[in-house]
Structure 1
Amino acid sequence: MTRETTTPSARQTELLDAAYRYALEHGLADLSLRPLAAAIGSSPRVLMFLFGNKDGLVRALLAKARCDELAMLDRLGQAAGAEPIGLTAAVERVWEWLAAEEHRPLLRLWTEAYARSLVEPDGAWAGFARSTVDDWLAVLAACQPQPEKDSEAGAVRRTAALAVLRGALLDLLATDDRQRVTAAVRHQLASLSADAEQ
């Protein structure tokens, strides 16, 4: 039975927030409703009623993770102000945020969801990876001056910048070697800047 409402109830929001904190700590790969419900002061039956099933809860958790990601990207856009800050400055700001220790739980969850979306494209994870690529490319495009943003070379540069960020993030999560990975990001930024000047 799926609850048909357009606005989540206070209880649903409260349980989703608690489940999200749980997922940030434990991940989603082996999520089981019984231990989750016990940890957040609910029951599997209540979670089923509020979210329909486990996939419904996973979709709600992924939507919340994407919302957090979009909030970060929105802050980047606001920091840019009226004038585009340029791709290099945008990547530097994004990397500072990604490399911060306090964001690791969200980024591990994001990485897990991204990978699951690729191997389970029709399940609860459907579309997550593609949506995040589109989100990030849109923000990076907004940081480029108009002539660059609208050019084929501009699209290639922001795709390369996103690839650098994603690869560096995976390396950082795997090794926790912030100094080495940050040096590599800066090296690639220098290459991106040199390409833009040619």
Structure 2
Amino acid sequence: MNEEAANPSARKAELLEAAYRYALVNGLARLSLRPLAAAIGSSPRVLVFLFGNKEGLIRAVLSRARADELAILEQVGDPVPGLPATVERLWSWLADPTHRQLLKLWAETYATSLVEPDGVWGGFAAATVHDWLAVLATCQPAAERDSPDGAARRTLALAVLRGALLDLLATGDHRRVTAAVRHQLALLPA
């Protein structure tokens, strides 16, 4: 009996982690099973056996990436009083160069979700917007959180973060982009 048949869930978990690490470096949009399998010490046949097909593997990697995003949001978004302080904390995490690979994968997946809404990527962009808005809501007092103005402020804060992140990923100009985020934060009521 081969290793995959003996303990498919352990091997599947191991290969999923390896595929996720591969995706962080290489992205997912042009994923090909042969190079992926070779890079992670497997074979296309084993990947298809464990994940059903290439789309099943991509779904699993996207789910794994989203789990990381939610864990990060939970950690970074621990309730801090006020929207500006929370945005500042989130921006510090987003602007940290050690997170570039994860954020590039996020940006690729977000954009692909928009252009292929019925495909394997479908729903990723909308889900991530809701996740981030939920974290931003935790820092607002209940009266503000439950008001249309509170929702508008969260949406503006998220738009600033998302736009700044895309700009930072494109240009690497940390100083300019951080200055713009701080300028916008000064305009948000505490």
TM-score interval, smaller chain: over 0.9
Aligned to 2:20: 20
Aligned to 2:72: 72
Aligned to 1:50: 50
CA RMSD of aligned residues (A): 1.1
Percent identity between the two aligned chains: 72
Normalised by the length of structure 1, the TM-score is 0.90
Aligned-partner Cα distance in 1 for 2:106–2:147: 30
Aligned-partner Cα distance in 2 for 1:178–1:145: 31
Q: 2:82 aligns with which of 80, 86, 89?
A: 86
Aligned-partner Cα distance in 1 for 2:122–2:112: 9
Give 5+ residue unaligned stretches, structure 2: 1-7
Letter in 1 for 2:125: A
Aligned to 1:110: 106
Aligned to 1:4: none
Q: 2:140 aligns with which of 121, 124, 144?
A: 144
| Alignment coverage as a number of residue pairs | 183
Structure 1 position 178 matched with structure 2 position 158: no
Give 5+ residue unaligned stretches, structure 1: 1-7
Normalised by the length of structure 2, the TM-score is 0.94
Aligned-partner Cα distance in 2 for 1:165–1:88: 11
How far off is 1:192 after superposition? 1.5
How far off is 1:101 after superposition? 0.3
Aligned to 1:100: 96
Letter in 2 for 1:64: R
Letter in 2 for 1:73: L
Moved over 3 A (4+): none
Aligned to 2:4: none
How far off is 1:77 after superposition? 3.6
